A and B are shown apart, each in its own frame.
Chain A
Amino acid sequence: MDFDRNTYMRFACDTGGTFTDLIVEDDNGALTMFKSATTPDDPVRGVLDALSHAAKDRGESLDELLSAGSMLIHGTTHALNAIVTGNAAKTAFLTTQGHPDILVLREAGRLEPFNFHIPYPAPYVSRSLTFEIPERVDSVGGVMLPLDENAAVDTIAKLKKQNIEAVSVCLLWSIANPTHELRIGALLDKYMPGVPYTLSHRLNPALREYRRASSSAIDASLKPVMTRYLGSLTERLAESGFKGRTLVLTSQGGMIDAHELAERPIHAINSGPSMAPLAGRYYAGLDSKLPNAIIADTGGTTYDVSLVRRGRIPKTRETWIGQPYRGHMTGFPSIDIKSVGAGGGSIAHVDEGQILHVGPESAGAVPGPVCYGGGGSEPTLTDACVVLGYLDPKFFLGGAMQLDVKAARKAIDNKVAKPLGLSVMQAAASVVGVATENMVQAISEITVNQGIDPAEAVLVGGGGGAGLNSVFIARRLGCPQLVIPETGAALSAAGATMSDLSSDYRAMFFTTSTDWDEKGANAVLRDLETQCKAFQKGPGKDARSHNIEFTVEARYASQVWEIEVPLRKSRLSGKADLASLVADFHASHEEIFAVRDEESDVEFVGWTATVSCGVGHKRTGRLKHTADEDVVIGRRKAYFESHGAVDTAIHSLHSLKPGKTKKGPAIIESPFTTIVVDPDAKFMLAPSGSVVITP
């Protein structure tokens, strides 16, 4: 059935650290892309700026544009920023008596065992705002010590006195028996009405008290700020004429209504970046036959890598705010994104032993790379690309900014070439080489964790800087194909237009392959399915399509880290179903970890159902194109490590003829990005609008 395209217009707006990206999806499915500066003091203004920009482009007023829209999908860094800048609410932590240091001890672990400069991280909620409640439940849900209600009420009185703005409650084994947590919730309602709180078993019914405690503490602390922010966003959009639905992207790669997210704001922490793999999956599907895709999003300071494994986007249960062991664990699965400090702004320096390093220090947006002329003095990856002739100093961001080549060359010469005894060009190529290797390591790490061989994967490059060295990255990894989608410069926003309304439901239920409790497992699956169906009938009632996926987290007996195995059916019946599930587990384990243990019992621990409701177009549209002449718009010298300086053809993305394979060297430019193809690679503009490169 063809979807009626004349019903609405949609906006996808992703607020990033530097830019707010907007994609407008027209009534007929055509896309237009806009960028405006992010306004950290009032991010809603940045969103409205981008929308005004789009309205102007169409010759409409903001009100006209917005009133034609049915849906605005928003990716935001607001929750993350609130945590990083210390603007989250003053939060109290209530926990089981005897265990006040859950958030202090965390799960221990450390990076860099010889580095004593790094301070031990402060707990997410300080000890002075941590309160012990007399009660104890055991591992099977039995009450060892009943809840002392008087003590709980006394504690609440203390919270009021200290002007606590949010409360997190995490008791040991609340996942086995939630009665005590629920009772404390009721007491908070009664004695501290209006103050938001989060109960750990409700938010995140997972084993391991630190993870649950951390989840609930982070969530509670974000409730006031995200309620305000999302309220302001929807209000001001409405004031500007928007009558549609406002949805926000979640860390899990779905989206939910803004008011729902305000209830569970922890899910907004990776809002935005989580969309890149969605877009990557779509474009990889259009342009490549390979089973897996690696999606790499290049920003100014970070390089974010995610995966698509046989059409599925893997999630990780370990999401950290900040570095592992030095930051805070959200305790929630999120799209598995590995972020490293490597980007256009990464600074190159030579250490006292004459080794070149690139990043993780970044020149950021201010002062920025030397060539921006904003006062930066340290050479960056962008400077190296200017020196090598990859970037046109006159056509940066479509000519919006002039680049200072001389200054970039001088910085590379003084700070890299001379200390290493190389020519300026060799030095600049080395900077690109080291940055490339840093990016490759980030990709290797995430692919090995998921058992993916890059030789069977297409690399999808997103972000404004992706085109500069993605050919080198793909070649180094052995990826047979590189795809730079036409919306690559705003990959997350593009992904948002493809996102589904979605929600995850999870339950703990332990059974094993030898003592298989089929009835129990099916009861859990039934319960999860019921929750999914309720979502379909609620937020998803106007959706075009519905889908429910079931997965189970399983492990060999006495392992403690599970791997996720998709279920082939919504219920399991008989020996054959169990056998195929166990076989799937062995296969996944071997794929990821190179060994299998056929003799071992398999333990099934956590069960998840993910409901998704399609609300977008079946197919994402193309950017509007104007020209289809295949012309070379210029030539310049570009320097490549293995070829030296080579006369290179410059193409405009909009002047390439689709379907024709050409040989490198070439540089393809658009207002949002520059794609470098070295002499050893071939490239083609695919009918999809992507540039497809064979490295």
Chain B
Amino acid sequence: MSNAKRKTKTSHTRTKPKPRQLDGGKLAILANRFGGICSKMGNTLLRTGRSGVLNRAKDFSCCIVTRDCELLHAEESLPIHVLSGPDLMAKSMQEFHPNLKRGDVFLHNSPYHGNSHPADHTLLMPVIDKKGVHHFTLLAKAHQADIGNSIPTTYHGTARDVYEEGALIFPAVQVAENYEIKEDIIRMCRMRIRVPDQWYGDFLAMLGAAFIGEREVLALGEEVGWDMLHVFTEQWFDYSERRMITAIKKMPHGTGVAKSTHDAIPGTPPEGITITSKATVDTKKAMIEVDLRDNPDQLACGLNVSEACTRTSIMIGIYNSVDPTVPKNAGAFRRVKLHLKDGGVVGIPRHPISCSASTTNLADSVQNATQRALAAIGDPLGMGEIGCFCPPSTSVVSGTDPRTGKPYVNQLFLGHTAGGAVAYQDAWLTMLHAGNGGMCFIDSVELDEVYTPIVVKTRRLIPDSEGAGRFRGAPGIEVELGPIDCRMEAGFVADGNINVPQGARGGGDAARSDQFRRQASGRLERLDQCSQVWIEDGEMMVSIACGGGGYGDPRKRDPERVRHDVEEGLISRKRAREIYGVSITATNKIDLKKTKELRRLRR
């Protein structure tokens, strides 16, 4: 068998006549089937993953791109993982491996070739039919607990370049041939990635997802015909574009500019990094354009945002204001035009600059600035800023477990809120951070205490910390945790202490974040926002994570919602009175007369 020599056809040679156009019923059916394949892949990853970041926090995504490297389906994935990136990665896979064969699998984590950041290992699997023709590419992407960085964290905020960062970079490297794993690569990883069994387990989980997806797409292609599937993708893109046009035409027309600032960390200017986004909604042309060129150059730190994440963050900012039933795919994306800066801190940073924390910190600033730029155009566009990542409650912790004597490393997801408000609804509480869209799970205290030698003393929402508004942002959350019978190293890159999450269209800002070490004596000692610290036995770490910004004037908030927040202990009567202009009695009733007065006075 000269399988290897058979040239893979990726060109559009069609032997059969083009199948007829599909009607609206058939289109819906095929779209559903592709969706079903994605969820099967996702289910496999969740259930079989080994690291907590995967099997507890669900920090993974699965998607399908066409043979032309266009995103076809990625519903229910982590937004920051997929809107852009899979297309770029599939392109680089085809460029580096022009002769794709059935059973090939490629490992890709290079932010310089379309991946989000090095911690998101991605497996790409081309779907190749019996004749050797490439039709689709499947992606299974999962945030790893460790990737061999120079320090035990997957977010190396202060790394001046990829060398200091230390991650192993795989620009679409072949890891399986004819469905067999290439052990060379596995051995390499086992030597350079902490807790290698855990990594390998996660690798197997991703491989299982890719195999299951491939099996399904092959079956689908054989059942309905490959040509039919390609007609479907074209028509589905057209449909999605039409839906996008209709959605944009319903929006207010105009241009808005907004800024969002990330606090300083080592390697950034002392005033922090300010991201500026200029958004234009053109209802006549049915186009949304976002310009991100007016931004600083790439910096010698790990906060640079890869091209995939820059594009994706802008698009999340946009799609958070678009009718949610519009499919997110290459068809709908035809109505979005992005302008990026080559060599920018956000935009297209160039090798060897580090993009270690590319999915979170500044990416969130891009999204937040874009959302507030849209809000500046008019109600109901945009939203309040979504709170900042990543506080100590979401540290990567490591050390030696005294119960087993074995080393451990993992990212905790012990406490996050962060939701920002929109024009018609209060925040979704557990957003984690902007790019995550609330998809992550939050750790069970009990589960973390079993898997990690820690104790979680406190986890509670913080009253009066929400971004006020006609609709309000999420309150912040306080978590206090520490090691048990051992010392523990914790790494985090927090934000939101100096520059807090801002409200939109008159909405209030959220309260600031903070982080402390509680010494054995009980004394609190403030920690740096970007830290890699040892917490000793008997000490605790106190994490104050911020909530999100509000939307609209708080004095226009429905008094009943204010009353309910007071009753629930989320805001104080004082705040109800002073910020919302609502008077709540000691028995939690609205004092209508006083409320009217308060609201009139503040006009």
A residues near B (Cβ < 8 Å) are 98-101, 104-120, 126-128, 136, 138-139, 144, 172-173, 207-210, 350-357, 419-422, 426, 429-431, 433-434, 437-438, 441, 444-445, 448-449, 556-561, 563, 589, 592-595, 597, 599-600
Contact = CB atoms under 8 A, between A and B. Distances in A.
A110 B567 contact: no
B234 interface: no
Contacts of A101: 459-461, 477
Contacts of B437: 110, 113-114
Contacts of A421: 23
Contacts of B461: 101, 104
Given A115-B324, A420-B24, A172 B569 contact: no
30 contacts: A99-B445, A99-B459, A106-B430, A107-B441, A108-B432, A110-B430, A111-B76, A113-B76, A113-B439, A114-B328, A114-B437, A126-B568, A127-B568, A128-B569, A172-B445, A209-B446, A426-B23, A430-B23, A434-B29, A438-B32, A445-B36, A445-B43, A556-B50, A558-B197, A558-B198, A558-B451, A559-B201, A561-B48, A593-B44, A595-B211
Nearest to A100: B460
Given A116-B425, A593-B47, A139 B446 contact: yes
Given A426-B23, A449-B43, A593-B47, 6 more contacts: A99-B456, A353-B243, A429-B25, A448-B40, A597-B201, A599-B197
Contact of A108 (B438, B450, B484): B438
Nearest first, the 8 A-B pairs at minimum CB distance are A430-B25, A113-B437, A115-B324, A110-B438, A108-B430, A108-B442, A595-B208, A98-B458
With most chain B CB atoms within 10 A of its CB, the pick from A173, A420, A437 is A437
Nearest to B454: A139
Contact of A561 (B51, B55, B319, B432): B55
A110 B568 contact: no
A599 B76 CA distance: 32
Given A127-B570, A356-B24, A357-B28, A558 B208 contact: no
B58 interface: yes
B96 interface: no
Contact of B446 (A112, A172, A433, A593): A172
B594 interface: no
A607 B414 CA distance: 28
A575 to B, nearest CB: 24
B251 interface: no
Contacts of B163: none
B208 A594 contact: yes
A352 B58 contact: no
Contacts of B424: 116-117
B28 A117 contact: no
A353 B242 contact: yes
Interface of B: 23-29, 31-33, 35-36, 39-40, 43-44, 46-52, 55-56, 58, 76, 78-79, 197-198, 201, 204-205, 207-208, 211-212, 239-240, 242-243, 246, 316, 319-320, 322, 324-325, 328, 383, 413, 415-416, 419, 422, 424-430, 432, 437-442, 444-447, 449-451, 455-461, 477, 480, 484, 567-570
B319 A433 contact: no
Contacts of A98: 457-460, 480
Nearest to A431: B25
Given A101-B459, A109-B58, A355-B239, A117 B46 contact: no
B24 A355 contact: yes
Contacts of B451: 558, 560
Where chain A touches its partner, the secondary structure class is loop
Nearest to A445: B39
A156 to B, nearest CB: 20
Contacts of B204: 595, 597
A117 B324 contact: yes
Nearest to B447: A208
B440 A108 contact: yes
Contacts of B243: 351-353
A420 B484 CA distance: 65
Contacts of A115: 324
B429 A104 contact: yes
A115 B323 CA distance: 8
Given A355-B24, A597-B204, A139 B449 contact: yes
A113 B79 contact: yes
B320 A354 contact: no
A437 B242 contact: no
A266 B324 CA distance: 35
A431 B480 CA distance: 55
Contacts of B416: 108
Contacts of A350: 24
A223 B466 CA distance: 36
B545 to A, nearest CB: 12
A120 B25 contact: no
A269 to B, nearest CB: 22
A134 B197 CA distance: 40
Nearest to A126: B568
B246 A353 contact: yes
Contact of A560 (B23, B427, B447): B447
Contact of B325 (A173, A351, A429, A449): A351
Contact of B43 (A173, A448, A557, A559): A448
